[in-house]
Amino acid sequence: MFGFDLMPRIRNWKGLTFFQHSDQVTYHHIDSLFRGEGGNRNVIDWELVEKMWLDLMRVAISIREGRLNSVTLLRRLGSHSRKNEIYRAFREVGRSGRTVALLRFLADPALRRRITAVTNKVEGFNGFSGWLRFGNDGVIADNDPAEQEKMIKFNSLLANCVIFHTALDMTDVLRQLLAEGWQPEQSSDITAADIAQLSPYLTAHISRFGLYATDVLRLRPDDFDPDLSQIDFTDLAAAA
């Protein structure tokens, strides 16, 4: 309802329930996906969605405009939810969206690979930022929302700074290898695909408690130069 697709990595999808838009439709190859226990069809209640549509849009707009947060909404809908028509209408909309996402996931191998690759990156970043948030085992003990927000933002800032520093070190090493003769036209080449396998979430070279040389703080570092003109990135950009 907010105009974007949620594409999580789906495990054990065979245990999930598919819903069809009408009980008057049958599918030649995948009809069994839409049948529940006892052979009954799982059908979306579009009449309820139509009846509650204005209420659904009011809730969605309230969330988008910051008038209602998701926690408050879930708390309200969680009370006697089975009797709450707005809850039931949201459930039907969710069933529709999830079924479409599941069918796309099953039908498109390229989409599955892309979702897996992106999810791995997100999980890698979360693990890396958690490793940097080593004080108190990463537990945010303060109950003040403002302090909690600062802790999360400071952790993200620190993670991005370390990632940038690691990327600079990697770039220097690549330039050194290229200067030593690792040219793309030779058998021992460095390609864009090779560089794509590198990860900035390395931790072995980082001392979390630090060994700090304060005498270099006043030195201005060289300007950041992202150019690796010897590497052809056009094929990788097209693949992405």
Mean of pLDDT over the chain: 83
Q: Which band of pLDDT confidence, cut at 50, 70 and 90, is reported for residue 149?
A: confident
Taking residue 90's Cβ as centre, other Cβ atoms within 10 Å add up to 21
User: How does DSSP classify residue 2?
Assistant: -
Q: Which pLDDT score, from 0 to 100, does residue 160 have?
A: 94
Per the model's pLDDT, the better-predicted residue between 176 and 186 turns out to be: 176
On the CB side of 106, CA atoms within 13 Å amount to: 13
Tell me the one-letter amino acid at 141.
A
In the block, tokens 């970043």 appear at: 125
Structure tokens at 146: 């403002």
pLDDT digits (tens, 9 = 90+) for 63-109: 888 887 777 777 777 665 656 888 889 899 999 998 998 898 888 99
Structure tokens at 143: 């109950």
Taking a C-beta distance cutoff of 8 angstroms, is the pair 167, 200 a contact? Answer: yes
Q: How far apart are the first and last CA of the chain?
A: 27
pLDDT digits (tens, 9 = 90+) for 195-219: 888 889 989 888 887 777 778 778 8
- Total length of the chain: 240
Distance (Å, whole) CA 188 – CA 182: 6
3-state secondary structure of 43: strand
Tell me the one-letter amino acid at 122.
V
- Angle subtended at Cα 175 by Cα 171 and Cα 181, rounded to the nearest 5 degrees: 145
Q: Which band of pLDDT confidence, cut at 50, 70 and 90, is reported for residue 185?
A: low
Q: Which pLDDT score, from 0 to 100, does residue 207 have?
A: 83
Per the model's pLDDT, the better-predicted residue between 120 and 181 turns out to be: 120
Q: What is the pTM of this model?
A: 0.63
- DSSP symbols for 136-181: GGG------HHHHHHHHHHHHHHHHHHHHHHHHHHHHHHHHHHHTT
Give the pLDDT mean for 34-54.
88
